[in-house]
Amino acid sequence: RITAPLGHAGATAALLALSAGAACCGAWATRAAVVRVALRLLAVGIAVAAAAIGSAVGCVACAVVLACSLAAGRMPRGVGIAGLGAAAGVVAGLGWLVLSPCVPDGLAASLEGRLTAHRVQLWRDALELLRADVVWGAGPGRFGALSRAAAGAPVPDGRPHSALWQQAAEQGVVGVVLLGAAFGWVLYRLWRSPRPTPVVLTAGAALTALAVIAAVGNALSFTAVSVGAGLLAGLATSRPLADDGALSARAARVPSDAAGP
């Protein structure tokens, strides 16, 4: 049963996955063997810490990120990026599938049992709000006031515990398209990044783990998670400092060369 992503546990799992991804990126980026081993041991330690504090989702996410990082050294960049995009798409599709009337009752009951009935009811309320205004939705921040399931929760927080369903309910199809475009743009920038492929794919795995957690939880509602994701994406897509130094040195030589005798 996926109960951990409700509340702060989802943000904790997301931060653990991002931390493990950052450690693995550092391991691939460094040239010192000792530092590389130390950073990979740090990633393993983060996964162990996740299990120790009771974050099963965080532990699994860290383990997946670590496994993807180890496999990134032998994987073509395009294939890896496509696989990450497909994985995020499948999880997002399951969120819609569980509410589809075309799904067999047995499969729907199985999915609902793992996602919890309360979360599925929140998603049903989000679907009703989407149907009321398909294009624009009910408006930002209005889900909590319009959802019966959210109002009846033991600790109401006004969210459907899914970034996708929150966008759908509050900002309609436009919001869903923009959310998907944002993730797609991150994957595109990773594909075009000047960083080494293992660093790029490791960061992509961590960000995809965040996307999966956010699809069934409210991790993106926490500022620390959004900032951590932006920092990791920025580090993985930025130009290496060595390249900046080479460009500066080349620019400094231009005036003297152009001056002539």
Residue 3 lies in a domain: no
| 228 occurs within a structural domain | yes
One-letter amino acid at 24 equals: C
Residue 7 region, left (φ>0) first, then alpha (ψ -120 to 50), else beta?
Answer: left
Q: Domain for residue 257, yes or no? A: no
Residue 79 lies in a domain: yes
Q: For residue 125, give its domain range.
A: 8-240
Question: Does the residue 178 lie in any domain?
Answer: yes
DSSP 30: -
Judge whether 2 lies within some domain. no
- Look at residue 261 and tell me if it is in a domain: no
29-83: pLDDT as tens digits: 999 999 999 999 999 999 999 999 999 999 999 999 999 999 999 999 999 999 9
The answer to whether residue 246 is domain-embedded is no
Q: What's the structural domain count of the chain?
A: 1
CA–CA gap between residue 28 and residue 121 (Å, rounded): 43
Residue 162 CA to residue 126 CA, distance in Å, equals 10
- Flag whether pLDDT at 105 surpasses 50: yes
Tell me the pLDDT tens digit for each residue of 132-175. 999 999 999 899 889 888 877 766 677 898 999 999 999 999 99
Q: Which amino acid is at 257?
A: D
Q: How much is the pTM?
A: 0.88
